[in-house]
Chains A and B, each alone.
Chain A
Amino acid sequence: ETGVTQTPRHLVMGMTNKKSLKCEQHLGHNAMYWYKQSAKKPLELMFVYSLEERVENNSVPSRFSPECPNSSHLFLHLHTLQPEDSALYLCASSQDGTGVTNEQFFGPGTRLTVL
């Protein structure tokens, strides 16, 4: 176990549904991240939060909406998704978002399928 948990582990949703992914870290870290992992594509950084403030948003469509209520929890709210959004969504945390030498700790991911 890495100290980062994600729920649910699997999610199937229709294009008109609204759902949320949850991430929780038990490591006392200050930075949290959302990544998208699609088959045969590099890992894509979606959002970065440092001390509960969003510090990066890599041109992610507005149908993905992050929320970081505190340094231990991170959500990804999903609405009107497209089939091409089907992927493994990974959450990660690190000691300090600005500390360039800090490695990231990843959760197990949520496998999302959009029908």
Chain B
Amino acid sequence: AQSVAQPEDQVNVAEGNPLTVKCTYSVSGNPYLFWYVQYPNRGLQFLLKYITGDNLVKGSYGFEAEFNKSQTSFHLKKPSALVSDSALYFCAVRDNYGQNFVFGPGTRLSVLP
């Protein structure tokens, strides 16, 4: 069975500092990993995905994520946080057996001015 863990309910970071939102996963086959962001009163918005190839994936709004197979992690990062990055972030996984997405519980990111 697939599962996703986001160990932090809340991450606080000062504007201009680097940010990391953590995600670990468990799948049976090859993992396909996704990050989504949800702003208040909005649906989820796709940020980036890892399918194959380079372990460092670049996405929207300056976000990137690093796939680490040995640690089964896919942490979301940004070199310099903006106040407007404050939102709820979801990690999701799917495996190559075609199972549907499994989403993590979400991490609330607050960027303080």
Contacts and interface: CB of A to CB of B under 8 A. Distances in A.
Interface string A53-88: 000100000000000000000000000000000000
A42 B105 contact: yes
Contacts of B49: 101, 103
Contacts, number: 51
Interface string A76-115: 0000000000000011100000101101111111010000
Interface string A26-45: 00000001000000111101
A16 interface: no
B32 A101 contact: yes
Counting chain A residues whose Cβ lies within 8 A of the other chain, the interface size class is: 20 to 34
Counting chain B residues whose Cβ lies within 8 A of the other chain, the interface size class is: 20 to 34
A48 interface: yes
A42 B104 CA distance: 6
29 contacts: A4-B43, A6-B43, A33-B100, A41-B105, A43-B44, A43-B103, A45-B101, A56-B100, A90-B43, A90-B44, A92-B43, A92-B44, A98-B98, A100-B32, A100-B94, A100-B96, A100-B98, A101-B32, A101-B49, A103-B34, A103-B46, A103-B49, A105-B46, A106-B36, A106-B43, A106-B44, A108-B43, A109-B41, A109-B42
